[in-house]
Amino acid sequence: MSSPLIVPKTQSKKQWLDGAVGYEIYVRSFADSTGDGTGDLNGVTDRLDYLKWLGIDIVWLTPFYPSPGHDHGYDVSNYRDVDPSHGTLADAERLIERVHELDLRIIFDIVPNHTSSEHEWFKAAIADPTSPERDFYLFRDPAPNGGPPNNWLSHFGPTAWTRDERSGQYWCHLFLPEQPDLNWRNPAVRDEFDDIYRFWFERGVDGFRIDVAHGLLKHPELPDLPQIKDIAPGAGPMETFFSFDHIYDLDQDDNVEIFERWQDIAAPFDACLLAESGVEDHERLARYVQPGALDLTFFLKPGWMKWNPDKLVAELVGLAKVEPHGIAWVISNHDNARPVSRFGNSDRALAVTTLMWALGGVPFLYQGEELASPNGLIAPGDRHDPISTRNETDEGRDVCRTPMAWTDAFQNGFTTGSPWLRSEPRPVQFTVEGQTADPRSPLHRYRSLIELRKTHPDLWQAELVFSDTGRPDVAAARRGTTFTIANLGSEPASVDLPEGSWHIVFASRVPASDTSPVTGTVTVPAETSVVFATAADT
């Protein structure tokens, strides 16, 4: 057996992140307190006790700012207020207060890559091409043929350019035309966001998840993107987008300079800055959390993957070897099909999540993940996601955005009215109420796993040592008094335990009822992760 790989231990930049577990709330689908069918801030406040019971430490809210809603809140028209459909600024302040009463932390979503086309800055830019706000955005003259300035694409299809009929120029948007990209090379844009951060930090917000953090700066010359693969007939917008190498519109080297500036603002408030970054290269992603930059970055690739044990182990372990301290680990969020549906069953999803618990950083769950919820069932006529409604494709994200299932009563207890996104109701076995009553349910399994991070702090604070298992679909990681074996393969795996006496403290497939000591070689069932602890730590 080859020598183990040792990853040195370091302390988190913000100590309250150490050992924490996060939870993403998709606000419009979590809890509706008014009966209008849209989730709101008071609905979140009303359900915080559930998250406290679950063991969550950090609550992340998706955008609730004023927005025309073309991309369900990710097209912000005012960063310093609350959309009436979600409540009021006073509701946000009460929510922050209640979070802190429960000894939790709360992070908001910030959307700095683009604004809404209804934002006052963009309206001024369109009304007067000589206005200062014009340079807040990326307006360019057309190409010699009169078309878009380059071949850049929108994530949501087709082109990343829309023509301003008044001036004849085009504006850039990596998402919808109603989401014009900001010009982050303009110092005035940077000044505005400095003030936006301070506005919320002064109200007690504990941090921000930064949307499209890898997309802020574009290459100043806006060159054409190289195409790296053929576009299949009938390809959807996302497949088409990733047929190009985005070396000029995403992940520019000087993005990190902006993060360092923001850290200077966040640090006096002990606030966390967390990137949503689509960067897949492990070394380049690690730049986002280099000293002086952001505290954490999501690694999004597992959220897009189908069941592939070898690749999942390679991606998770490979990144942990490069950057084990600054990663926010996820296998799903509001942009991904549910992991149970992508992976094929809930046992596989929990096995992967259990491995993430041993990799350092801060793991996050997405609402409903703790219930092992599969994709929601939505009739084609009820779709809302612009990816599907504006294109002839089934690529849309609605399947993971259906309302949270609290009970098996009317509308699953989400609302007393008609929900903004209609879907088939969840049966009782996929509701919070139903699973709370069943001690063997996924909800209790996830709660036990979260508790494990508190009762066995070596899982995140001790030196990380990887063992060679001899199989690409099996990972083994020791952290102090804990040892985690993740067998994602289809056959049982035999793995040597470190020297000493060990006890099973968590098993992803079944409750760890056998706590008798074990030594030597153990056999872990297929598609199962097991966490062992030494006798001194049980």
CA distances from 298 to 26, 74, 154, 451 (A): 17, 18, 22, 22
Beta bridge partners of 327: 297
CA distances from 204 to 24, 47, 190, 344 (A): 19, 20, 22, 41
CA atoms within 13 A on the CB side of 69: 10
To the query of whether residue 398 is one of the catalytic residues in this protein, the response is no
- Type of residue numbered 426: R
DSSP code, position 332: -
Tokens of 7: 């990853």
To the query of whether residue 276 is one of the catalytic residues in this protein, the response is yes
**Edge-to-edge, what's the strand order for the sheet holding 161-163?**
139-140, 170-172, 161-163
CA distances from 101 to 15, 48, 62 (A): 19, 10, 21
Q: Are 405 and 373 in contact (CB under 8 A)?
A: yes
Task: Please write down the long-range contacts of 431-435, taking CB distance under 8 Å and 24 or more positions apart.
Answer: 431/371, 431/405, 431/406, 431/407, 432/50, 432/371, 432/404, 432/405, 432/406, 432/407, 433/406, 433/407, 433/408, 434/407, 434/408, 435/371
Sign for the CA dihedral angle at 31, 33, 38, 39 comes to negative
| Biggest distance spanned by C-alpha atoms of the chain | 76
Nearest-angstrom CA–CA distance, 531 and 491: 18
Listed in sequence order, the residues at least 6 apart from 528 whose beta carbon sits closer than 8 Å to its beta carbon are: 347, 351, 487, 507, 508, 509
Backbone angles phi, psi at 132, to 5 degrees: -60, -30
Nearest-angstrom CA–CA distance, 416 and 158: 38
Q: Catalytic residue, from 181, 211, 369, 473: name it.
A: 211
Q: Catalytic residue, from 133, 276, 323, 370: name it.
A: 276
CA distances from 383 to 234, 368, 391 (A): 20, 20, 12
CA distances from 316 to 107, 223, 331 (A): 25, 33, 10
State whether residue 507 is helix, strand or coil: strand
Residues acting as catalytic residues: 211, 276
